[in-house]
Amino acid sequence: IEFDDGITATFSLSAFTSKVNRTLKITCERGEIRAAEKPYVVEVSNFLTGETRALDLNIPGGGHGGGDKGFIMEFMRAYQKGEE
């Protein structure tokens, strides 16, 4: 991908992996940003200093940040009460 200002990026997606999660890697001239879905951690590395900082996003577990669990819980509540 080439943006209007000349910056280029590469996007890659693979559905056939041994791990069911998403990862992100952004590589720049002076460093990179890596992120993972499980655990929800963002790492920022500086190529000039060699320093790497990690940020734990502390997102609740479960699919879609816990939204899947909430959906199932609400479905079960409605089912038990006979609601549509």
Q: What's the residue count for the chain?
A: 84
- Whole-model pTM: value is 0.58
Question: Rounded to the nearest 5°, which phi and psi values hold at 14?
Answer: -130, 125
pLDDT in tens, 26-78: 888 889 999 887 778 889 999 999 999 998 887 666 666 667 777 777 878 88
Which residues span the domain enclosing 54? 1-84
Q: Is the peptide bond before 60 cis (omega within 30 degrees of 0)?
A: no
Beta strand spans in the chain (E): 23-27, 31-36, 41-46, 52-56
Domain count along the chain: 1
**Do the beta carbons of residue 23 and residue 35 sit within 8 Å?**
yes
